[in-house]
Amino acid sequence: MNPKTFSPDLSRRHFLSGCCASVTGMGMLSALAQLRMIGAVASPGNGSLVQPTAAAAPQSDFKALVCIFLFGGNDANNLIVPTDASTYAAYALGRGALALPQASLLGISPKTSTGGTWGLHPSLGINPDGSANGGLKGLFDQGKLAVMANVGSLAYPITQAQFQSGSVPVPLQLFSHADQQVEWQSSVSDKAFSTGWGGRLADLTNAFNSNNRVSMSISLSGQNSFQVGKSVSQYAVGTSGALALTGSGTGTSTNGLRTSAMNDLLVQQNPNLFEAAFGGITTNALNNSALLSSIVTGASPFQTYFNGLNSSLSQQLHMIARLVNAQSQLGLKRQVFFASTGGFDLHQAEVTLGNTTNGAHAGLFRDLSQSMTAFYNAVSSMGAQNQVTAFTASDFGRTYNTNGDGSDHGWGSHHLVMGGAVNGGDIYGRMPNFAINGPDDTGRGRWIPTTSVDEYSATMAKWFGVSATDLPTVLPNIGRFAKPDLGFMGA
């Protein structure tokens, strides 16, 4: 570099542009957020803990929240379907080739009457072992699963007339995958991204934890917007356990000498902000890796619940169950997890024409049912079913009408909340009017959400331990909406 043309500003721009070239925009925001959080996670010490050999009962005041993100925009119009004759006829007309046969639907009996009858997609009845007549449908029947109707990102409550006139602000870049993923995970739809609501939740509730040895905010799906906070850093874990550096080792082997030399470099004081930050983050990550490796190495006490399941989602949830099982060893009374699965952007091949219970969507729902049910069974085996709540989220819903054998980007969608503390066996919120160009439609059956992500999230945050006074810290826009507690969570 020519010293005459060098400047600190240029070097910073070069550094940032290099980082942006190697990670996504959201990943860069997360990385920069972590630079502010050096030292936020306590050093885990020497990691000399013993692997739990069986499911362990959690501490009585322990709670965990698990976000399961369905990347691509789930077509929830086929997650729950009206089954009464007149409404089903309207559904079949509106959905066309995407309509599920009425006889294939798994009938449910919500505790609260909605004025109609309902059924779940047939794949949602599949058990972890592949048998039918159980799965998520079975958990709904047992009161352990609730349906949240027509929820979506909103800047303010809005009607069809207000949407058409432009008199009320709508979420930024509505119908865009990347933007709506971030807005769902941040629960702030009218401002540029800063932090996620899971990150703000962790910042606020980390005081529940004493002597925590790793972050309470753990991702099984890499860096994400949901867990970006200001004081608690998200920590990524693999489905096989803690992530470790390739080529690391111990003793006098080549890998051991390399690791020793690197550790010597990391402990040196460095006045450069970025180098010091890199050293701090790397040291914490290595220490956390050693600690978790000592806990989750060896046979899993939950293997029987996940036998035969090898999808990415099932493996993520399996590891989350193991980390919940280790919460007392990690000094954690609150944990926030992030898991995800993709493939829901089904503009085509959503169904197999002529057999709509097959196709890509049916396979995705089968995986969701098997993985979530196995996870519920695993946490129940350790007596933690009332202390662990899992919920789904996604970019957006999809159009009610079809483009052939798929659907396009929508808005409002239906979601699932699972756990022993859930007031399950019921549908919360209001289903849309199933009519193209009807009162809830912005066009092609893109339903205007009748419940905001803020209200959905706030209900779980309250269960997690956030007071009404502190709720705006986690959900800044909650004051714009009528129901900060939708009632689907118990004590």
Residue-level pLDDT at 249:
65
Mean pLDDT of the chain: 87
Task: Answer yes or no: are the C-beta atoms of 212 and 205 closer than 8 Å.
Answer: no
Q: What is the pLDDT confidence band of residue 22, given thresholds at 50, 70 and 90?
A: very low
Q: What is the pLDDT confidence band of residue 356, given thresholds at 50, 70 and 90?
A: confident
C-alpha–C-alpha distance, residues 55 and 61, integer Å: 17
C-alpha–C-alpha distance, residues 460 and 464, integer Å: 6
Q: Which two tokens stand for residue 190?
A: 């009218």
Q: Which two tokens stand for residue 2?
A: 């020519």
Residue-level pLDDT at 378:
98
**Which of 98-107, 273-282, 325-334, 454-463 is predicted least confidently?**
273-282
Residue-level pLDDT at 119:
98
DSSP E strands, 212-253: 217-219, 235-236
Q: List helix spans (H) across 142-272.
A: 160-165, 177-186, 197-205, 254-266
Could you give phi then psi for residue 69, rounded to 5 degrees? -95, 130
Q: What is the pLDDT confidence band of residue 247, given thresholds at 50, 70 and 90?
A: low
Is it the case that residue 7 has pLDDT exceeding 90? no
C-alpha–C-alpha distance, residues 276 and 294, integer Å: 27
Q: Which residues contact 278 (CB under 8 A, 6 or more apart)?
A: none
Reference 139, options 370, 357, 355, 484; nearest CA is 370
Token look-up 């020793």 returns: 260
Is it the case that residue 25 has pLDDT exceeding 50? no
Is it the case that residue 44 has pLDDT exceeding 50? no
Q: Where are the domains of the chain?
A: 62-241+297-480
Q: Which two tokens stand for residue 409?
A: 């980007």
Residue-level pLDDT at 244:
67
Question: Residue 291, SS3?
Answer: helix
Average pLDDT over residues 71-77: 98
* Structure confidence by residue, pLDDT tens digits, 373-417: 999 999 999 999 999 999 999 999 999 999 999 999 999 999 999
Q: What is the CA radius of gyration of the chain?
A: 23
C-alpha–C-alpha distance, residues 457 and 484, integer Å: 9
Question: Residue 416, SS3?
Answer: strand
* Structure confidence by residue, pLDDT tens digits, 104-151: 999 999 999 888 999 999 999 999 999 999 999 999 999 999 999 999
Assessment of whether the complete model's pTM goes beyond 0.85: yes
Cα maximum dimension of the chain: 79
| Architecture of the domain whose range is 62-241+297-480 | 3-Layer(aba) Sandwich (3.40)
Say which residue, 276 or 9, is predicted with more confidence: 276
